[in-house]
């Protein structure tokens, strides 16, 4: 009986963690060359133009989604990745060492640590 209860608790915890991991994000974190360039709300209209020696990326935040509108990288892969809005979603531009991440708001890194929801 006790084992069944523990199993159920573990199952519920698993469900909760899955739901948390798949929810809509609240913030956008832009990282350039391993350093945080800035953190922005996903719900404020914004256009970011990030110029580097290696090239330029134009990032748009609009309507709760974020995407790369323009880039002059050789592969254009970051533009083709399209719009993201889910928590833990990322767009990467390898040639420009640029990473766009959607986080859950507040402390962005916390949802990656399962320990934070175990009490």
Contact between 42 and Zn ion per CB under 5 A: no
Query: Binder to Zn ion among 78, 84, 99, 102 (CB under 5 A)?
Result: 78
Contact between 66 and Zn ion per CB under 5 A: no
Query: Binder to Zn ion among 42, 73, 84, 91 (CB under 5 A)?
Result: 73
- For CA atoms 75, 79, 84, 90, the dihedral sign is positive
26 close to 44: Cβ distance less than 8 angstroms: no
77 close to 118: Cβ distance less than 8 angstroms: no
Least distance to Zn ion, CB of residue 77, Å: 6
30 close to 48: Cβ distance less than 8 angstroms: yes
Least distance to Zn ion, CB of residue 80, Å: 9
Query: Binder to Zn ion among 50, 61, 91, 93 (CB under 5 A)?
Result: 93
Query: Binder to Zn ion among 42, 71, 84, 102 (CB under 5 A)?
Result: 71
- The rounded distance, in Å, linking the Cα atoms of 57 and 93 is 9
């Amino acid at each position: 009986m006790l084992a069944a209860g523990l199993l159920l608790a573990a199952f519920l915890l698993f469900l909760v963690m899955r739901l948390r991991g798949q929810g809509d994000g609240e913030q956008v974190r832009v990282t350039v060359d391993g350093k945080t360039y800035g953190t922005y709300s996903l719900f404020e209209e914004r256009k970011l133009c990030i110029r580097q020696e290696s090239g330029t990326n134009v990032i748009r935040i609009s309507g709760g989604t974020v995407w790369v509108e323009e880039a002059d990288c050789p592969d254009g892969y970051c533009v083709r990745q399209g719009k993201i809005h889910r928590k833990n979603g990322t767009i990467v531009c390898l040639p420009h060492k640029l990473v766009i991440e959607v986080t859950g708001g507040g402390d962005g890194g916390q949802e990656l640590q399962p320990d934070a929801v175990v009490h």
